[in-house]
Amino acid sequence: MFRKIISSHSKSKTRKFVSISHHSTNYCYYDHSAPPSSPSKHISPRQKWLDITPTSLKGFNRSFSAGYQLNSTQYSGSNSNKRNRFSVRRGFSSETVRECINYDVVIVGGGPAGLSAAIRLKQLCRESDVDLSVCVVEKGAEVGAHILSGNVFEPRALNELIPQWREEEAPISVSVSSDKFMLLTEKHAIPLPNPFDNKGNYVISLSQFVRWLGQKAEELGVEVYPGFAAKEVLFDENENVIGIATNDMGIGKDGSKKDNFQPGVELKGRINLFAEGCRGSLSEKLIKKYNLREKGQGQHQTYALGIKEVWEIDASKHKPGAVVHTLGWPLDHKTYGGSFLYHMQDNQVSIGLVCALNYHNPYFSPYDEFQKLKGHPAIKPLLENGTVIQYGARTLNEGGFQSIPYPVFPGGAVVGCAAGFLNVPKIKGTHTAMKSGMLAAESAFGVLNKGSNMEIYWENLKNSWIWEELHRARNYRPAFEYGLFPGMAISGLEHYLLKGRAPFTLKHGKPDHEATDEASVSSPIEYPKPDGIVSFDVPTSLYRSNTNHNHDQPAHLRLRDPQVPELVNLPKYGGPESRYCPARVYEYIADDKGELKLQINAQNCLHCKACDIKDPKQNIEWTVPEGGGGHYFPAAVVLAVAEMGGDETGGGVAAAEIGVVVAVEIDVAAFGTAFGVDESVGRLRVCAWVGCWGENGGWI
């Protein structure tokens, strides 16, 4: 029997346990005590951030939120025979027939754009008294798991989507209290006129916000499938998109099917919306297949890499709502980028460095530049005596207005950052991503309910405030192609005098991968060694990212030509993949003959997509790994579900529940120091991700 925590239908914080048969295929909860007239309510696994339950996977093989198949044979047996329970049996067999599920709308990606689209669709259904089936598939172990906290949030789109969000207990409470903009030199921070208008904005945890959006979507009847990665676009005989297929799970490195093999599932939609985020693997294929970039604004997309940490600092240094942005040091004058520092709640700050990926020097290391930044005299005192809680990295779209693709293709559309609606001078894209999802949802609803066509999405985009906002900001990013100070002069002219109404539109420079100079004309860069106080080595940061991939699976980072690294990248560019990756996925290691060979540590991957963008010969292809893998950013450091009494009842959970997100009780006296919990609490029930404490008290 398995247990799950569910919420009662009231607004209270009460939780209760419900037993679920080991072989049960129904994970929807129905309150039999409710009046007959009240509809049954689908309870989300994350109805609050601390609700830990499997989402209903209507119609196909059930997996829990970490993406592990619930296998009664594999997990049966006595506790004394744990090793045998996890033995891996392999077998090669013919292709497995995938199960197929049909929906009205399939949405790929459980971020702000995808969830906003799902919510808007269900709102329109209620307004028109129609019922459309909507599902969201998300590759993270849970909604929000791949989103690192720390965001200055503009609520414009949220005000339109859920006007009563304050009453709905959205995790948005810290308003911007101060806003500074500085030019950094190596030793000084020079205040500049602030071009950011953050009045009315909030400093939030984007991870918690997305979890809340997921809850709202499920309350409206959206089916959310976390832990499933969309691997393939499905087409009909006329090359119309008809859905996606998730990847097979339980495949070994050698291509054999392991004992826990689970075939992928085909999710077919009458309309399919791709909201995968920046450089989405399937979205990029669709953009190329249908020439959407050329049909849109015409210019190539440009990117930046953002590297971020969340710190807990001394309360005396914490200023909730304080926002700081910088330009200049540690970047050279030819490299566009800057840093940010946001004071969130609970004595936490989010600090990061954004580096444009069209930098020239192949010896440039974004990770080491970020570590160097934290040693600046204006930043280091704030972080000293603090603790790093999270680390992560992600690429950003910086092409803006000039790079918007035509977003509609036969059978669906591209939305959010997969299309590229980031406002570069604002350093904000959540509000535009949400709005684009809402507009796509309204167009999809018109197609399904009124017989219109998806091209209306493009027209609505051009008539929306997204278009107006990005058009005003179109010349900021390309202005810095001329260097830091010319870029500041041009962008200042745009902001203060022309106000985005310049009679010209600047073009972007070379694509990022073509901008890399050869090593022979570049100077190596000496970076200081980490001090272990504010700067750290890569393995330490990786540990803080909670990155986890099953080692025994096919590599999701693929070389189109295996000879390019040794024959081109290393001799011509000095092996830049060993430096542009913020997780040291790529290393050149000497073989038995002393020759350097590229080693790919795919298990370290942060899913930032920098390699897919910056490789000089575009030889690296990023594909999705098994669903549920990658980094994992919890909503809080310790997911405390309920305080228990100080007695010794409860204990652990049966070892048979390994591999399932379960609620377990730990002895705080034994683990309190590690979790920072007062021993007086007694016992605490917490979430254990992909593992549990066995009855003997050991971690499995």
Q: Under DSSP, is residue 463 helix (H, G, I), strand (E, B) or coil?
A: coil
Q: What is the DSSP annotation of 133-148?
A: -EEEEESSSSTTTT--
Tokens coding 495: 């902001």
Q: What is the DSSP annotation of 515-550?
A: -PPPGGGS---PPPPP-SSS---HHHHHHHTT-B--
373 close to 367: Cβ distance less than 8 angstroms? no
Which residues are the active-site residues?
Answer: 149, 394, 430, 581, 605, 608, 611
Tokens coding 1: 């029997």
Q: What is the CA radius of gyration of the chain?
A: 25
β-sheet bridge partners, residue 322: 178
Q: Return the beta strands (E) in 209-364 as ranges.
A: 223-226, 230-235, 241-246, 249-251, 257-262, 265-274, 303-312, 322-328, 337-343, 348-356
Torsion, CA 313, CA 317, CA 322, CA 324, rounded to 10: -80
Q: Under DSSP, is residue 598 helix (H, G, I), strand (E, B) or coil?
A: strand
Strands 189-191 and 151-153: unpaired
Quote the CA–CA distance of 181 and 340 in Å, as a whole number. 9
Phi, psi of 626 (to 5 degrees): -55, 140
Q: What is the DSSP annotation of 164-202?
A: TTTTTT-S--EE--EEEEEEE-SS-EEE-------TT-E
Inter-CA distances, 542 with 548, 598, 663, 676, Å: 10, 20, 26, 21
Q: Which of 428, 357, 337 has its CA nearest to residue 150?
A: 428
Residue type for 170, please? Answer: A
Q: Return the beta strands (E) in 283-418 as ranges.
A: 303-312, 322-328, 337-343, 348-356, 387-397, 408-409, 412-414
Q: Under DSSP, is residue 249 helix (H, G, I), strand (E, B) or coil?
A: strand
Tokens coding 579: 């430096």
- CB contact set of 595 (below 8 Å; sequence gap of 6+): 566
Inter-CA distances, 617 with 111, 331, 487, Å: 30, 25, 29
Inter-CA distances, 385 with 371, 382, 392, Å: 16, 8, 21
Quote the CA–CA distance of 357 and 514 in Å, as a whole number. 10
**Token pair 């969340």: residue:** 310
**Token pair 């951030």: residue:** 49
Quote the CA–CA distance of 339 and 331 in Å, as a whole number. 10
Inter-CA distances, 328 with 17, 52, 107, Å: 54, 44, 39
Q: Under DSSP, is residue 211 helix (H, G, I), strand (E, B) or coil?
A: helix
Q: Which of 162, 271, 246, 150 has its CA nearest to residue 207?
A: 150
Q: What is the DSSP annotation of 625-687?
A: -STT-B----SSSS-EEEE--SSS-S----GGGTTS-EEEEEEHHHHHHHHT--GGG-EEEEE
Residue type for 528, please? Answer: P
Quote the CA–CA distance of 190 and 326 in Å, as a whole number. 9
Quote the CA–CA distance of 243 and 469 in Å, as a whole number. 32
